[in-house]
Amino acid sequence: MRGADGSAVHGLRRRRHERIQDGVTREIAQVISSQGSGGRLLLHIQAGRGAQTLLFRDQLTAAERPVIYDEDDQRDAAVASATDFVPVDLESARFPAADDFFDLVVWNRDLVTVKNAEAALLEAGRILRPGGLMVLALPNLAALHNRLVLLTGRQPTTLHLGNGDHIRGFTISAMTAYLRRDLGFQVERITGVGLAPVTGAVLPGALRGLSHSAVWSLRKPRRPGR
C-alpha cells in the first residue's frame, strides 16, 4: 500500500510540474509573438525532443529553418525534418555561429544543468545580433515552495542531489542584476510563472518573486550609430 501511495504522490507532483512547464512554454511563445516578430532565424539551446522549437518558430512571421544546439540529438522525427541540429559542448566550446548571427535565442530552463553558465550565456549573447531578442527561462531558487522546504531543513527542489541534473540555482533578483550588469543585456520584461503546488499560471507582478519559474525577455544592445 505504501508503494501505491508513493506512486500516486509522485504522479501528482509530475502533473503539477508539467502544468507549470506548459505555462512557461506558453509565456515564451507569447513573448516571441509580441516582441520577436521581426526576427527570422531562431536558435533553441537544449531543446530536447524539439516540439517547443516548432511552436516558437511558428510565432515568427517569416521564420527560416530553426537551429538547435545541444550535446546530444534528441529530436523527434518530425522536428528533425524541420530543424538543423549542431552538437555543442555547452561547458567549454565556443558556439559554432558567427558573431551577431541569430535574430532570436531561446534557452528554456536547462541552464541549471550547466556548470560553466557564465561562459555559455556570453556565447549566446555573442551570436545574437544587436537588437535581437533572447528569451531565458529558469526555475526560481527563491520560489515559495523552496522557501518552505528549506524551513523544514530539506533540499530545495531546484537543486538536485543524487537523482537529477540541476546543479545551479538562481533567484530572480540576482539573475536580473547579473544579466544587466555583467552580461550587458537590456532587460525588457520579467514574468513569474506558477505557484507550486497551486497554479501554473502567470502571476501578478507583486508575487513574481515567489513564482516557480521566471521568464526574461532580453535585448542585445544596438551599437552606437546603428
- Report CA torsion sign: 216, 220, 225, 226: negative
Report if residue 14 sits inside a domain.
yes
**pLDDT tens-digit series, residues 40-84:** 999 999 999 999 999 999 999 999 999 999 999 999 999 999 999
**pLDDT tens-digit series, residues 29-38:** 999 999 976 8
Average pLDDT of the chain to the nearest whole number: 92
* CATH number for the domain that contains residue 11: 3.40.50.150
Report if residue 127 sits inside a domain.
yes
Report if residue 224 sits inside a domain.
no
Report if residue 33 sits inside a domain.
yes
Instruction: Give pTM, 2 decimals.
Output: 0.92
CB 17 within 8 A of CB 5: no
CB 192 within 8 A of CB 208: yes
Element (H, E) at 181: helix 172-181
Q: Provide the residue range defining the domain that includes 11.
A: 2-218
List the grid coordinates of 75. Answer: 529530436
The pLDDT, as a whole number, for residue 173 is 97
Report if residue 225 sits inside a domain.
no
**pLDDT tens-digit series, residues 90-116:** 998 899 999 999 999 999 999 999 999
Give yes or no for residue 1 having a pLDDT over 70. no
Residue 62 sits at the vertex; the CA angle it makes with 138 and 216, to the nearest 5 degrees, is 15
Report if residue 168 sits inside a domain.
yes
CB-based contacts of 140, cutoff 8 Å, min separation 6: 146, 158, 170, 171, 172, 192, 209, 210, 211, 212, 213, 214
Report if residue 164 sits inside a domain.
yes
Report if residue 172 sits inside a domain.
yes
Provide the number of structural domains found in the chain: 1
Q: CA-to-CA distance for 41 and 93, rounded, in angstroms?
A: 21
Alpha carbons within 13 A on the beta-carbon side of 3: 0
**pLDDT tens-digit series, residues 137-193:** 999 999 999 999 999 999 998 898 876 688 899 999 999 999 999 999 999 999 999
Q: CA-to-CA distance for 75 and 67, rounded, in angstroms?
A: 12
Give yes or no for residue 226 having a pLDDT over 70. no
